[in-house]
Structure 1
């Protein structure tokens, strides 16, 4: 049984997903499986996954559902049920992990806690020029390589460069609240099942965070690791973003917080 199940959500981004899988092929920690949580992609994604399975030593499962609009929370719940590890790491198919990504989540995990990571967002022109070689060499995580290719310098570069005491202090002092962000979060499977997984009513816009809010209500403590567990987020359009869905999600989250809800009736086990 693997020590970690890495659950990667994806939808019709085969090129980005390939680069992400290359990133997982470089990990220093290797005792993990990958569950591709596929929200209805075409066969192009299946081809990428099948080819990667045939040429790498990664343990990969491809969990697919029919495309019926944005149903990320539904496919994530299906992926959870397919996972074999006691500890689950959630990320997206457009987030390339640095080689110590899985190791960091494994090392920092604690009982009755979940880990809240961050991401470093790349502009379109850099996202498009990253090659397999750049990922193998870890160039796409190198500050100087990124600046040489036109990245604008900012404080956020500390996510890529911070080490030791500086990394510890930035995690402690950041004003960003530790939340469950689906691009970079991990927790114990038993805790996630205890709150019934993701709320399948949720559409795009904070759909992952509501799970974290139920975990907190259950007494599971969030730990900030945004300067420790590093992935770079590749650029893509968000055609599924809409104000109606965001308003709906905010209403669900508001109710979760107000009622201190620990269980959703619209999760893995549906009773209504």
Structure 2
């Protein structure tokens, strides 16, 4: 049967972090989802981890891989979208551990002709390294007191981890942060993403996810802010693939998308014949 959601997780050579992410999806309160790994050319260690985890868990996991040829996240994400079996897609990263209600929140808050813009909470390397299987199973890594005991400083951002009920709704409504398509935590209807032709594969690192959201908005899909509702913790990593040339190209593409109200990209899932 068709799953209620397809969780598409992008990854590149981070099997240790991906392992922790898998544990997070094992804990989900809502179980009817598939996982599709959008692998941008990882070495064999990632494949070994995925095959081992598939044999040890009830999670439904599909591994979509292409050869390493630089940062091609948008291309592998488009392949994963095509491979997805659900009509609702949750897109996140392989270094983001989901809270146990992550999938449930996305499905509960979804609306027709809308996409959801979720939040994430960045952790320093020292805490990222310390998180164990038990800490994920017990949800310690989402508990502020536990995080503070490991050296985290309390800030306004820790409200992401502690808000619920009315406070959660008010913070979502009044946050000054705009609702955008963020690749670490966003979701939408597959038919809407297909209608704008998915991700623009010209784009390397830097705003490549947001450009999809901007085309969705041009198409009439309304963004909904849920950064205080659907929560994941973002494990620390370097960004060696960041470069100014790619960033400037991405900015130009996004500028054109917004100024010309572009809906469709010729560099997406469907290519011109």
| TM bucket, shorter chain | over 0.9
Residue of structure 2 equivalent to 1:180: 181
Give how far 1:270 is off: 1.1
Which aligned pairs between 1:46-125 and structure 2 lie closer than 5 A?
46-125=47-126
Give how far 1:118 is off: 1.1
Give how far 1:183 is off: 0.2
Residue of structure 1 equivalent to 2:239: 238
2:17 paired with 1:39: no
Residue of structure 1 equivalent to 2:257: 256
Which aligned pairs between 1:213-232 and structure 2 lie closer than 5 A?
213-232=214-233
Give how far 1:247 is off: 0.7
Deviation string 1:86-127 (CA, Å, 9 cap, x unpaired) is: 000000000000000000000000000000001000001000
Residue of structure 2 equivalent to 1:194: 195
Q: What's the secondary structure of 2:64's corresponding residue?
A: strand
Q: What's the secondary structure of 1:238's corresponding residue?
A: coil
2:44 paired with 1:25: no
The 1-side partners of 2:63 and 2:103 are apart by: 19
The 1-side partners of 2:91 and 2:16 are apart by: 20
Residue of structure 2 equivalent to 1:9: 10
2:151 paired with 1:137: no
The 2-side partners of 1:223 and 1:155 are apart by: 21
Can you give the 5+ residue segments of structure 1 that lack an aligned partner in the other structure? none
The 1-side partners of 2:207 and 2:18 are apart by: 22
Deviation string 1:6-54 (CA, Å, 9 cap, x unpaired) is: 0000000000000000000000000000000000000100011011100
Q: What's the secondary structure of 2:31's corresponding residue?
A: coil
Q: What's the secondary structure of 2:61's corresponding residue?
A: strand
> How many pairs align?
272
Q: What's the secondary structure of 2:145's corresponding residue?
A: helix
Give how far 1:129 is off: 0.5
CA RMSD of aligned residues (A): 0.5
The 2-side partners of 1:106 and 1:223 are apart by: 13
The 1-side partners of 2:138 and 2:119 are apart by: 22
Give the TM-score of the pair, scaled to structure 2.
Answer: 0.99
The 1-side partners of 2:225 and 2:145 are apart by: 26
The 2-side partners of 1:17 and 1:216 are apart by: 31
The 2-side partners of 1:46 and 1:133 are apart by: 24
Q: What's the secondary structure of 1:61's corresponding residue?
A: strand
The 1-side partners of 2:127 and 2:84 are apart by: 33
Give how far 1:155 is off: 0.4
Q: What's the secondary structure of 1:267's corresponding residue?
A: coil
The 2-side partners of 1:26 and 1:48 are apart by: 18
The 2-side partners of 1:130 and 1:207 are apart by: 29
Q: What's the secondary structure of 1:182's corresponding residue?
A: coil
Q: What's the secondary structure of 1:208's corresponding residue?
A: helix
Give how far 1:153 is off: 1.0
